[in-house]
């Protein structure tokens, strides 16, 4: 009986846990609750994935109301894949947060921190399970509002302006999405995704529908931080508490890319988005600009968290690039990179959190020589960095391989060159940090540093291990991604 309710439990459990977290009030108890919820969410996500791969897509009618009227939850392979990514990253980062937030957040606010975290998780999971565009907007707002809170809880006062900037831009993005929802409802009289997909072709030649897609695309592009709408991301990632940077880097933007895939390909349909409107050309240009400019900007940052933030801007470019290639291999590359980038970037942010825990800074000059004091932490950084560069036997290589093959299939050699150049720039910004940590004389800030506590080190290395595991044997992820891509594109071609 519970098996049939899993789809809704995926969202209901964290949603109900959030107010309980407020009631518990004590920091430690709140953390334990958050851990329990995270484990439950991952378990449900795995169970759902198993169901989907065994029996095909799951449909769940909320309150038993039939689809066009009631809210429908619909979980296909793509949704299940995103659920796995989000709940895995969430579990690892919440385990990590236990130690990390001790130093970064006022003890009497920690229960609020976990409340916000669980709400944010609810929103992110909700986006992936829902089959209703308005419901999607609601979940998006739940996750966004709570992540503004999480960013604003940082110790550095600049986190407040960062959170405000994030709030303003995020709200503009959400409003655009809402306008898109409204326009679609106006034209079709429905909010259900499957229903919309069936009705849009009939009104596809109206300007309203075109405008709706434009509003959706720009709104989502802000949420994804696609260049040039990425302005909120570097500040938010830099000044947020370490655990939050790690959590958001691995989940929020990934769910954004999911929305883009879902809205453009499932709701509007391949023929409309890629055929009539040629959305892929716009995405391609933005993605290429993001890859190059993000990577170049990353070289010039002195705060290492900011280096990673700009690197994220570039890596989001890779994900969108896959969609922009508008082929099965391209979309598979995009889906793969959602997974792979979540693993590598979260691990890297966790490394920085561990360093921050010990020396209270992540400025590059304070990291000089730190590898002598924190060898395991920095070794994790090297491993994650190699993954960002795309060295073979890391997940980064797998993503790059698929993107290159997709570019090759189209015969776009300039694009293959851009992908490779961008990864070579990654060598520069990663190696700058590695060199500072291993070869420079020990900085004053790092004089008394010792190895990070196991509470931080173990989750980090768990992710590093996954980075290598899925880089060494990518058959599972690659075949899922290929199936998802074919399903999204309908008939190949």
Partner 1 sequence: MSPSVALTLAIVVPLIGTVAIVCLRRAPNWRETATLTTATTLLLLIVYIASAFQSGNQIATVWWYLLPDVPIAFAVEPLGLLFALVASFLWVVTSIYSIGYMRGHGEPNQTRFYAFFAIALSCAIGIAFAANMVTLFIFYEALTLATFPLVTHRGSAEAKRAGRVYLGILLSTSIGLQLLAIVWTWQLTGSLTFTERGIMHDVDDTTAGILLLLFVFGVGKAALMPLHRWLPAAMVAPTPVSALLHAVAVVKAGVFTVLKIAIYLFGTERLATIATADWLAYAAAATILIASLVALRQDNLKARLAYSTISQLSYIVLGAMLANRWGIIGGGMHIATHAFGKITLFFCAGAIMVSAHKTEVSEMRGLGRAMPITMAAFLLGSISIIGLPPTGGLWSKWYLAVGTLHADQWILLGVLLVSSVLNVAYLLPIPIRAFFSSASPSAPEGMHEAPLPMLMALSVSALGCIVLFFYPQTFFELMTKLVVSF
In the numeric block, the tokens 């940077």 are attached to: 245
CA–CA separation, 109 and 106 (whole Å): 5
Number of neighbours of residue 164 by Cβ within 10 angstroms:
15
Q: How far apart are CA 474 and CA 416, in angstroms?
A: 21
- Provide the minimum distance between the beta carbon of 415 and partner 1 in the complex, in angstroms, as a whole number: 11
479 is a contact residue toward partner 1 (CB under 8 A): yes
Residue 164 near partner 1 by CB under 8 A: no
Q: How does DSSP classify residue 172?
A: H
Report the alpha-carbon distance of residue 313 to residue 331 in Å, rounded.
19
E strand map for 259-392: none
User: Which residue of 367, 404, 418, 484 would you call a contact of partner 1, by CB under 8 A?
Assistant: 404
Minimum CB distance to partner 1 smaller for 17 or for 332: 332
Work out how close the CB of 479 gets to partner 1 at its nearest, in angstroms, rounded to a whole number. 6
Q: Which range binds partner 1 by CB under 8 A, 289-297, 306-314, 452-460, 469-477?
A: 469-477
Region of residue 59 (left: phi > 0; alpha: psi -120 to 50; beta: else): beta
Under DSSP, the state recorded for 267 is I
Binding track, positions 428-467, relative to partner 1; x by CB under 8 A: ---x---x---x----------------------------
Contact (CB, 8 A) for 347 and 467: yes
- 405 touches partner 1 by CB under 8 A: yes
Q: Is the Cβ of residue 170 or residue 471 nearer to partner 1 in the bound state?
A: 471
Least separation in angstroms between CB 392 and partner 1: 4
Stretch in the footprint of partner 1 (CB under 8 A) among 98-106, 182-190, 221-229, 400-408: 400-408
Other CB atoms within 10 A of residue 393 CB: 15
- How many residues touch partner 1 under the rule CB under 8 A: the total is 31
> Which among 282, 378, 350 has a CA at the least distance from the CA of 89?
350
Out of 106, 205, 365, 473, the residue judged to bind partner 1 by CB under 8 A: 473
Comparing CB distances to partner 1, the nearer of 18 and 370 is 370
Cα–Cα distance for residue pair 212/311, rounded to 1 Å: 31
Residue from 299, 391, 465, 487 touching partner 1 (CB under 8 A): that is 391
Among residue numbers 327 through 386, which ones bind partner 1 (CB under 8 A)?
386
Q: Using alpha carbons only, how large is the chain's radius of gyration in Å?
A: 21
The contact set with partner 1 (CB under 8 A) reads 386, 389-393, 398, 400-401, 404-405, 408-409, 413, 416-417, 420-421, 423-424, 427, 431, 435, 439, 472-475, 478-479, 482
């Amino acid at each position: 009986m519970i098996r049939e309710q899993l789809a809704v439990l995926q969202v209901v459990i964290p949603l109900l846990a959030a107010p309980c977290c407020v009631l518990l009030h004590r920091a430690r108890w709140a953390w334990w609750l958050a851990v329990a919820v995270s484990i439950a969410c991952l378990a449900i996500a795995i169970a759902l994935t198993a169901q989907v791969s065994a029996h095909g897509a799951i449909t769940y009618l909320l309150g038993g109301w039939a689809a066009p009227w009631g809210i429908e939850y619909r979980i296909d392979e793509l949704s299940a894949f995103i659920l796995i990514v989000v709940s895995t990253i969430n579990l690892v980062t919440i385990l990590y947060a236990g130690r990390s937030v001790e130093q970064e957040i006022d003890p009497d606010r920690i229960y609020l921190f976990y409340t916000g975290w669980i709400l944010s998780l609810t929103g992110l999971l909700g986006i992936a399970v829902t089959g209703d565009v308005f419901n999607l907007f609601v979940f998006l707002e739940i996750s966004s509002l709570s992540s503004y809170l999480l960013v604003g809880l940082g110790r550095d006062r600049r986190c407040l302006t960062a959170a405000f900037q994030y709030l303003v831009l995020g709200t503009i993005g959400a409003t655009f999405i809402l306008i898109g929802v409204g326009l679609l409802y106006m034209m079709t009289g429905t909010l259900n995704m499957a229903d919309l997909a069936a009705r849009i072709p009939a009104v596809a030649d109206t300007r309203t529908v075109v405008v709706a897609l434009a509003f959706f695309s720009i709104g989502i592009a802000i949420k994804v931080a696609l260049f040039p709408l990425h302005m909120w991301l570097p500040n938010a990632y830099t000044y947020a508490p370490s655990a939050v940077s790690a959590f958001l880097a691995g989940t929020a933007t990934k769910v954004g890319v999911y929305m883009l895939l879902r809205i453009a390909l499932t709701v509007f349909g391949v023929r409309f988005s890629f055929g009539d409107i040629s959305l892929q050309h716009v995405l391609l240009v933005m993605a290429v600009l993001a890859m190059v400019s993000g990577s170049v900007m990353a070289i010039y940052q002195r705060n290492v968290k900011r280096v990673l933030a700009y690197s994220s801007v570039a890596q989001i470019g890779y994900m969108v690039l896959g969609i922009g290639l508008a082929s099965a291999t391209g979309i598979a590359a995009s889906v793969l990179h959602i997974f792979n980038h979540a693993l590598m970037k979260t691990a890297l942010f966790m490394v920085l959190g561990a360093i921050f825990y010990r020396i209270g800074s992540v400025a590059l000059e304070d990291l000089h020589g730190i590898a002598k004091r924190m060898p395991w932490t920095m070794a994790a950084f090297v491993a994650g960095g190699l993954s960002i560069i795309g060295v073979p036997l890391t997940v980064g290589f797998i993503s790059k391989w698929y993107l290159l093959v997709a570019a090759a299939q189209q015969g776009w050699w300039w694009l293959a060159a851009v992908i490779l150049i961008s990864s070579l720039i990654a060598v520069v910004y990663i190696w700058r940090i590695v060199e500072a940590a291993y070869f420079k004389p020990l900085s004053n800030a790092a004089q008394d540093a010792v190895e990070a506590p196991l509470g931080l080190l173990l989750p980090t290395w768990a992710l590093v291990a996954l980075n290598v595991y899925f880089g060494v044997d990518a058959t599972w992820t690659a075949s899922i991604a290929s199936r998802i891509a074919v399903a999204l594109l309908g008939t190949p071609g």
